[in-house]
Each structure stands twice: as C-alpha cells, then as structure tokens.
Structure 1
C-alpha cells in the first residue's frame, strides 16, 4: 500500500514539474485598438496547473486593466482534451501610442511561473481610412486595413499581423468571411476572424470591431507586400416591398495592402546557422542510456521559444566521429498562429564503437531584438554501451544473448521471375477453400448424429426396422463360420433376393460350401472378413444418400496463372525500367494483378529513380498478399535510406511479419474447426469408438492452436490501425513540402521524404490535408502523393520531374 502511494506521489510530482515547465500562453483579442476600444487579455494556464492559482495583476501607465472574475476561469479545451483555465483581463486606453504589457507572475501553489509580455498599439480614430459600400438599398461606411507593429522585420522573422475591420453596428452580419489576399515575398497564415466581436464609438456612431489575427514572415530582403485583399461579408437585409421580409445580401469589401522593408540578416553568421530567427531554448534527452554496441540511441531534440518554429532546421551534432547518424524527423509541429511554442525532432544515432556519452548538439539562431547571432549547446548525455560480444569465460556459464543483427542492405532485393498467381481483392488473403474439408466432415458428423440420436426416436418404416433387426441377428452370430454364413445367407434370401451384387453371390456360395457339407471348419471366421460382409450387407439393405452430394459443392475454379511476359523481365535486365513497369502493369487487369507483379513494378520504379513510387507499389504488394516478405524488406531498406516517415514498430512485430497474415488467420480457423469437430465426434459415435480418441486430441489442441493464431493476428503489424487502407497515401516525390495552408507560399511545416506514409483527411482543390505517423499534419499538393488503394489502373511509374519535385514557392 505504501509503495503504491509513493508511486502515485512520484507520478503527481513529475506531472506538476512537467506542467511548470510549459509556458503560459498570453493572448490578446486584438493588438490594434482605437481610443476607447476594449480588448480582452487572457493568460491560459498549462494543463494540470491548479485553477486556484493566483496572479499578480500587471500595471501599465496609459492602460486600464480590470480582471474578469476573482480567479482563473474555465476555458473549453479542444476535442479530446480536458478543460483548461485562464486569467482574463479587460483592457482599454484613451491615450494613443505603443504599449507593452510586461511579464507577470502566477503562483500555482507548487511554484512561480512567468507570463509572456504582450505588445499592442492604440491609435486615434482620425488615423482610420474609410470607404463606402452598397448593401441592399443603402450604403454604409467601413474601415479595413492590415496592421503590424514592425515595418522593418528581418528575413525569416515572424511578426504578428492583423486585419482590423470596423463595420456599423446597425448592420446585421450573418458571416464575417475570410479574406482572399495577395502576397509578394512574405509567408502569412490564413486570416480568420476571432469569435469575440467588440464594439466601439467612432465618428458619432457605434461600430463592430472585428480582428483577423495572423503572423507574417518575410522570405527575402527588400520591399515585400501583403495585400490588397477582398473580404466577403454576408449581411441580412430587409425588403421594404415584401412585408419587411429578410434576405441574405453578400457585400464585398476592399482592403488595401501594406508594404514592409525586410532587412537582410547580418553576413557574419557563425558555423551551424541555418534559418532560425527568434528567441529559443534547446533541450536534448535520450530515451535509453544503456544500449548494446550496434543498437541505435533515440534522442528527442526540443526547441522552444518564439520565432519561426514551423520552418526550423533541426540542431546538428557537433562531433559525429564514431557515430552513424540518421536524418532527423519532426515529430511534433502543432498547427498554431501563435509565435511561441515548441518543436520536437526525433534523432537516431548508432554508436560504431564503445562510447561513454552522446556528444552535444548545437543550435545557432539570430535574435532580432538583440540583433546578433547566438549559439545554444546541449549537455553531453552519459551513455553506457555494452559490447555485443563478451570475452571467454568459464565453460559452465551460459553465453549472453547477442543482439539481433541489423539489416545492412546496400541495395534492394531482385525481382521475382514469373511472379504468377492472381491476387485477391484489396486487403484479403487467398480464399480459404481448405475449409471445405472440415465443413464436409462436420456435415458427415451431423448426419451421423441424426442417424444415431434422432432417427431411433422417429417413427420409421416397419420393413426397414425389420431389416435392422435381421442385421443385428447376423452380427450376433459371432465368429462361428457355420452360424454366421447360415444367418447371412438367410438374410440375403429374405431381404436381398433380387440383388445381383457380387457380395451376395459370394456369401451364398460360401454358405453352401460351409453349411451344406459334412466338413467342419477348422478355424474361426476372421474378424476383418466378418466386418467386411456386415458393412456390405448394411449398405445394400439400408442405402443412405449422402447429403454431401446434395450440397452441390464444386471445386473452386482456379484462375489461370498469370505468366508475365518475358519481355518485361528482359526490359528490366536491359535497364529499360519504365518499359518493364508498363509491361508488368498491362499484364493483367488491375484488380487481378498478383502481389509478385506489384513487387516487380516497385523494383522497376526504384531503379528508375522514383523511390516514392517504389514504396507505393511495395505497400500495394504487401496489402494484396496480406504479407509480402520481399516488399517488407525493401520497404525497411528504403525507409532507412531516405528517412521516410513511417510506423515504428517493436522487433517482435517484424518477427511476426515473417509469417504471412493469412497463416495466422488460418491458425485461428484451424483451432476453431478442431473444437467444432471434437465436440461433434462424441454425439456422432458410440461409447468406446476409436474416433473419440481423435476427438479428445482435437479438443485439447484447439485452444492452443486458436490462441496462437489470435495472438499472431492481434500483434501483427497492421497499417490499417494507423489509417483505413483506402485513406492511406504515400509521398511519391523525393521531398514534399508540407505546408500550413493550401498555398505554395504558406509557411513550411515539414519536408516529408519519399515513401512517407500518411493518412488523407481532406481534399481542397489541388491540395490534400494529411496526417503523418508522427502526429504531424499539413497540406501537400495532391500530385506529390498517391493513394495506396485505387480502383482504376494507375499510370506507370515515371522519373519525377525535377521542377515539381519539391513544390518550392518563389
């Protein structure tokens, strides 16, 4: 009990420490106000922080801040997350100028955490530019403009930007819309209206104040522009000639653009600088601190702070001597319009020799406030590398277990010649025709049960009953030849007199030889001979139409095997890979192409220089066959070589995959059939029958066989658990730019290497919204990925176009 309490206390302490490590998010409903306009300031507490925390109210000359409530108020979290809490303040100012709300402190009861400073600008209403637009039968004035606090940001510096709109409160607005804007030399988030709609007195009238916040980052130095833009509002107008009925009237507003003078970064950038601009911190942790020589070390590289977090290049290893480094991947890139947060990279390192520590990582960034480059160095992580082999010891000792050798492939496996045999439908293994055998046995046992258990209870034909009684008398004659043949002959003459069966003639002749001579048989009747005659007489006297004949079972017609044309293999060996892929693709209908042919097409695509399409066809082969070992091995090689984003599995799942999925399914069915047949044997046989021994063995082995099959299926590596097979997609270009919005100049989230597996969530025009296995989401051009399952024959693999390969924007 004490141990459990201590464990719970430790977990609670760790959770509290983790929560305190997270920053407090500061949110302002609008960073650009006019005199007298109110805004709402929110300090959102990290998950797990007690709502009974207290805050020190910030004080700023020229601003009026009033706390809403006396403590933290609940904030509804996003789907799947628990509610969070936040301190809220209402602020306003009547003095134009730029203001900075300084960082304040929050006492959580377990420690003090600091908030982020917040900047805002208060303008005089005379600085607003007004325009007029027609709505229904009238007109109204409005003001709309892009606002930013910094007119000269550095290249790659992320700054807040806002579209501020003022519309008369007399207008009934049904939908505020989303602006469509132009941009030149900048990357900007999609502008969406905040749900809080303010009100302010302007020019003698009352106006709605709507904020469209976003962030902006210059992509080059010199003059860059944002806008102009068009904003479509949906208003509700009243028709005076229609008994004051209402109707929806769209109104198009024009928003002028703004120009910024982006400053280039200083040219004295130190070694290791890539593109990081902002203020950051670096943390490196290892998931394991003791590994065997040759096993990889998994590191988490966490960059926190404010700046261009979505486009950061990962930190680099200072000294890689003695280490095999794999390309890092971004495992956490939340979709955010806020400038601050965290970005986490996953890095795999494999020691090539004994090492005592993981070398430090370096992260170089430019601080735009200090206008200087800064460098962060992580702390070396102690590491214990256990040798993979041990020195000779005493012979009585058990040698230590050796690590599973890693695949050291330097190239893919070769093609499969004459890969015939049609595949099944998508996601299905070969049809289990073998189950017809246990089904037939089960039917026979059921018929036997009816004969033994139910037939005697039913009213039968007296003639048939008399024949059974006569047969029992023949069987009761024992092994005396004279007695047996006398009774058997009498039975034939009475019940089978018109039969011309060889057996009846044989029995009558034998009876005459034994019973009507003075010679006495010297030996007893052999048991086998006696049983043979009894079975024959029973079949003749009591004919049974087997139900199996009435079932109409037919042998499955096996599809003709596909013999791939020799020209495809010849083209492949002659390095005509595109022609070979096309010939294999045309060798059979698309839905009947076997897994071996799809595997060969993937090999041709790889040789062609299209690794993404190679991974696509290897996944199709694996899906068609249920489990295709060659495709799986080539996929593992490709993912290691290109750093593809894929599902990381434990070693035991790869061991299970060496046996096909259909084998595990069949094991489960075998166990089920053994149990069914074992149960049916007992009512279908009489006590003492030898078949009951087999039934007992079947009942004993059924649970074990079924359990093995179920465990294999349950833990079998299945990509469908990540996403349904029809929503899976594969990146087919060398590196696809995953962006925050469906636009080529939107901020970059991650560069997905060829062969990366993703889940297709939504399609908008020429873009697809996808989610990767590392929880990263974003928009990718639809022509840079392809679905794993398609219903129509796709185009043959081709070498990717160098210009469209990366999807870079100017």
Structure 2
C-alpha cells in the first residue's frame, strides 16, 4: 500500500486485520508525523498537466567535509555522494573531481553503493572517499565537485499534448519522474542526454602550525602511538642490533619518519627501512613500521631512547613520544695485548711440562674476529671524486697532446701527398705531350733529340717511385739503372743522349739535316720499351 498525506499533522494508522490459514492476524498501530511542505499544493487534481522532466533533476552530487577548521598539512577525510535516479540508467562519463586551489587531494576510492529515498524519490547513491591536505594557511573553498554523466530521458514530441498518468505518480502530484516513459520505455523513443553534475562548495579555514616545534618533529599531524623492540639483547661490541619501531594511529603517514636517537654517543646508526599497512580506503589510519640497525661501539647496558614527535590538532599542541628503556648486554672490545707474565709463562711451559705432576699452563687463544674500529686512522683518506684531482687533468693532457700531434702529422702528410700527386700528374702530362711531338714528321733533328732525351728523363723520374728524382738530374747511368737496361739498350741510350747534347751545344751535326725514318723508329722503340 502507498499512503500519501494531504496535509500536515500527526496521524494514526489503525491496526489492520487479515485472515491467513484460518486465523485472524492483526498488525500493530502506526503513528505517522507529516511535516508541512512549502511550495506544493495539497489539493492537486487528477488529470492536470505536469512539467516535463529535466535532466538536472535526475542526478545530484554532495560534498561532505567533516571539519571546518584544519591545520597546514593535516589530513582531512572527504566524502562525495553521487545520486542517480535508477530509472534513467545513468552512465558516468567523467568521474567526480574536487576542484579548488590551496590543497592536495588523494585518489578517489569508491566506498560503496546503496539505495536511498530522498524527498520521496528513489536514488541510487554511490559514495566516494578521499582525503585532502592544505598546503598553506588561509580560508579556502573546497570544491565544488564536478562530474559528467549521461542519462536516459524520453524524447518529447514536436507538438505539446497532455500525457497519461504514470504508476509512479499515484496521486498526480507533479512528480518530474512520473513520465510514462519510465513505466513503459517502449511507449515512445528515448535519448541519452549529457548532464553536468555539480555540488555546492564547502568552506575550510586552515591555520598555520605553532612555532617552536621539537627537533624530532618531521611534519606528522594526527594522533599516534609508538612501540619499540630490539633484538638480539646480548651482543658483542660492533655487532648489529635491529630496533623495530611501530607507529600506529590516524594522520598523515606520508610525513611520519623514523624516530630519532636522542643520544647517539657510542652508537653507529644505519639508514632505516619502512613499510606501511593502511586500515582504511584512503590511508588515513594504519601502522607504519621502521627497522633501524644500530651497532654499539662500546660496552652498553641499555638501548638509547628513541623520540617521535607529532602535532595533535585536537589538543592543538606538539606531542613527543619516547621509547621505554630496553635492557641489553654488550660485551667485548678491542683484543688485549699479551702481558709479559703470559709471555714468560708460555716460554716456561716446555720446561715445566717435563716435570711430573706440574700443571700445564693455559695458552691464550688468538682472536679470530676483529671488532669495529672506533678510532680514526692517522692518515686521513680522501673520498673526493677522481675528476677533482689536478693530477687527473694533467694526465688527460698527455693523450690530448698526442691526438693533436697525430692530427697535425696527418694534415702535413696529406699536403705533402697532394704536392707529390700534382708533381706526378704534371710529369705524366709532360711525357704525353713530348711523345705526341715525337710522332710528328716536321720536327728538326735538334728539337727531336732534345724532346726524346727529355721524355727519357721524365719517364725515369716517374719510374723512380719514392726516390723522387728530379728529371733534370737524370743522366744515362741513372736512366739505365732505373729501367735495368742491358748493354745493347744502354749503348743505344748513350748514343741518343750524345746526339742530343751535340745538337744542343754545338749547333751542328755531322749527319744529314733530317732524321731518317729508320732512326725515328729506333728512337721511338727505345723510348716505348723503357719500363720498370
């Protein structure tokens, strides 16, 4: 049954009697308190037109911040409620996001989903949880929360007309969800609309932390407890002792650091390790465990006191937790030097052992383990990087200078090789030009023998290779040695040079004024056969 009050007041629903299984069953009497609802008439008449459904009425967002005043760095839990009418089949396009400046927010975690009735309307409410921390002091507005979703709504006809009543609007009370589409989705076409979801912002006042924080304060804000333990309890000097510190509570665990040692004299401390186990979705509550290795440098009877400080926002003051005394036993130390008496006893041991009935003296067993050194060595070693040493950079100059010298040598060799290549190319060109002239018939004997001897000198210079012979310095013996001529070729070469000198210096020749074809062929054959 659905009951709708038509006016405000206190109503009594009488007991109802029903028959079941041959018996009469009677319900209890119910009392219904009806508050006055402004803005709605109690005398609605059936059949009147209602307002069309608006997409913004189908969803809502609510931002819940339990605290109105916080401190800088304090973790404040935040809850976001997103409500959707289940009859519109919502689809979240963009997840909720807390907007604003001056604070940091952790990742949203979906906490749960449940059905609620708000102002007589059913909603499917999804709850998200997160936490925020203010970065500076001042007054801020947290939010609003913004999201985007798609909802299914009926497509309106082009011409207005009266609509039929929906089973959801039992008394025709202008319910925006009473459209017949929601009771019969196939009565008309539907469409998805994108709606913006926006909550109201929440004001938050952020105070700065008070001054004069303890030395062991690392920024932890909240409420914490500390427990410590040390194992093993009996060690030698220099042996490691693992101290386990457990800090539990509620607060900003990202700023919770390992407890500090109030008196480090006689102890060597190693960097601690930590692990965190959270007890809620956003990591505000949990337990953080630290393991610190301490090594005693001298005999000790108790562990040093560990201190952890945090700021309690409820008490508005700093709180310092200190560990309880833990008794331990530290024995040993540096190995004692052997005394003179012990040395004498050891030296007399063979003599006394020979006597019957004399006790055998105990010998001192050499110590196997060397304990940790507690004194600085006489020569201090430097741990500065090697690139800061002047000697290192002076050593780098040696390969650098060698590289520069090698580059200069390569450049010089390239230039020398380039000059030699140009010289050889010029000699080849000159030899080619001279051979071309020797094949002409209009050349005088003087020019012919001069050019023939010049060709031989040029070819000898080219054939000399690495000796780099100047063509002007080539004579008969040099050419014959270069081309490795036999005696006959050597004689023919000598006669050619003599004829060239005779035509060059005397200006006359005892033979004819022209060169016979036979002599020309002999000269060309001699020159062409000159090869290394």
What TM-score do the two structures reach when normalised by structure 1? 0.32
Greater C-alpha Rg: 2
